[in-house]
A and B are shown apart, each in its own frame.
Chain A
Amino acid sequence: MRPDELYDRYGEKMYHYLALRLGSAEDAEDVLQETFCRLARYSARWRLVRNPKAFVFKILRNEANRFLARRIKRREGDQAISDEARGLAAVIEAPADAGAGLIIRALGELPDEQREVIILKVFQDLSFKEIAAVFGLPVNTAASRYRYAIEKLRSAMEGKA
């Protein structure tokens, strides 16, 4: 697959995934650039890839994890992860109602692995099978993480509503 074709198909979704995970538009752009460089190196392997979407998001996730690891190294402990939660508001358009504001806050308070499943399922339209391939987990585990995350969001909404 040519890079321009790849960008037209997945570029926007990749950017949104990174923006939601990293909580910063600038960082998302940098990591997207790095990911495309990596994908350009893997161009010879494209013929072997059975599910391009899962493959692209796996590479993207690895790149995002590498970036977060560098960020954690630069700063202290888990502060980098909590920055993501605070940054969610920066990449989501200002909500029209209070309920939307609450759900963004609740989303930011989810554990990283659960928030990631929500991002991939709800915002990127990946199936559980694709999410499982991205995480390298069984499909049931991916589905369970999603279910737990939705339950937490629901209870957070009910508790604060």
Chain B
Amino acid sequence: MTREGNGGIERRLKSLTLKTASPGLRERVLKGAAKHKKEAAWTTPLLRWSLAACAAILALIFITDTALSRRQQDRLQAFMDGAPRIEDRAADENRVLAEVLGEPVGRRLFAQNGRFAAEERGAGQARREELLKELLKEDFDGSESQKSSH
């Protein structure tokens, strides 16, 4: 009974006639769509994001490559000029300091120099100069000499 009733409702609904669209709608719609397509951007949002991501990755690769090349070039230049490695230079200085100043002072300076060498390895030119000044300041500091005179 219910199914027949439902079927009857469906038939009744299907029998309703819908009004047709106004004449010329097809042409208007297609003309508008063609115009819009012509003016619209050729990219989709996904494509735009992908292009932006690719550009960022390329820029990152370029920057990293430049930095690495420069570093490599500096190291090669240093090697060609015969400059000693920072570690070797620090070790030599420590040996000399230990010989000249004796064991307790030498050990302290040895530790200090080790710290400066470690910092110098990771530092830029400006920081190197700053470290050097700091080292010189500590070496010729009046308070150190006062301490030792006491």
Q: Which residues of A contact B (CB under 8 A)?
A: 3-4, 7, 11-12, 15-16, 19-20, 25, 28-29, 32-33, 36-37, 39-41, 43-45, 90-93, 95, 99-100, 103-104, 107, 118, 122-123, 147, 150-151, 153-154, 157-158
Q: How many Å lie between the Cα of A101 and that of B70 in the bound state?
A: 84
Q: Pick from A4, A36, A90, A100: contact of B32, CB below 8 A.
A: A36
| Set B9, B16, B21, B34: member contacting A29, Cβ < 8 A | B21
Instruction: Report the nearest B residue to A158, measured CB to CB.
Output: B5
Residue in B closest to A44 when the chains form the complex, CB atoms: B44
B147 close to A (CB within 8 Å): no
| A33 CB contact (under 8 Å) in B19, B29, B37 | B29
Q: Is the interface of B mostly helix, strand, loop or mixed?
A: helix
A92 touches B17 (CB 8 A): yes
Nearest Cβ on chain B to A113's Cβ, whole angstroms: 17
What mask results when residues 15 to 43 of chain B are scored 1 for a CB within 8 Å of chain A, else 0? Answer: 11111111001101110111011001000
- Measured CB to CB, the closest approach of chain B to A90, in angstroms, equals 8
Residues of the B chain whose Cβ atoms lie less than 8 Å from the Cβ of A92: 16-19
A25→B29 contact, CB < 8 A: no
Cross-interface CB contact of B12 among A12, A33, A93, A100, cutoff 8 Å:
A100
Q: In the docked arrangement, what's the CA distance between A153 and B2, Å? A: 12
A37 adjacent to B25 (CB under 8 Å): no
Out of A19, A32, A93, name the residue touching B16 (CB < 8 Å). A93
B18 touches A37 (CB 8 A): no
Apart from the given pairs A36-B30, A41-B44, 4 other A-B contacts in the complex at a CB distance below 8 Å: A33-B32, A40-B36, A40-B37, A40-B40
Check A107–B19 contact: CB distance below 8 A. Answer: no
Q: What CA separation (Å) do A157 and B28 show in the bound complex?
A: 40
Given A92-B18, A93-B18: A103 in contact with B12 (beta carbons within 8 A): yes
Given A19-B18, A99-B12, CB of A4 within 8 Å of CB of B44: no
CB contacts (< 8 Å) of A39 on chain B: these are: 33
Q: Which one, A37, A44, A100, contacts B15 given CB within 8 A?
A: A100
CA distance A154 to B98 in the complex (A): 106
B13 contacts the other chain (Cβ, under 8 Å)?
A: yes
A151 CA to B10 CA, complexed, in Å: 11
Report yes or no: A150 in contact with B9, Cβ–Cβ below 8 A.
yes
Q: Considering only CB atoms, which chain B residue lies closest to A41 in the complex?
A: B40
Of B9, B17, B20, B32, the most chain A CB neighbours within 10 A belong to B9
How many Å lie between the Cα of A150 and that of B33 in the bound state? 37
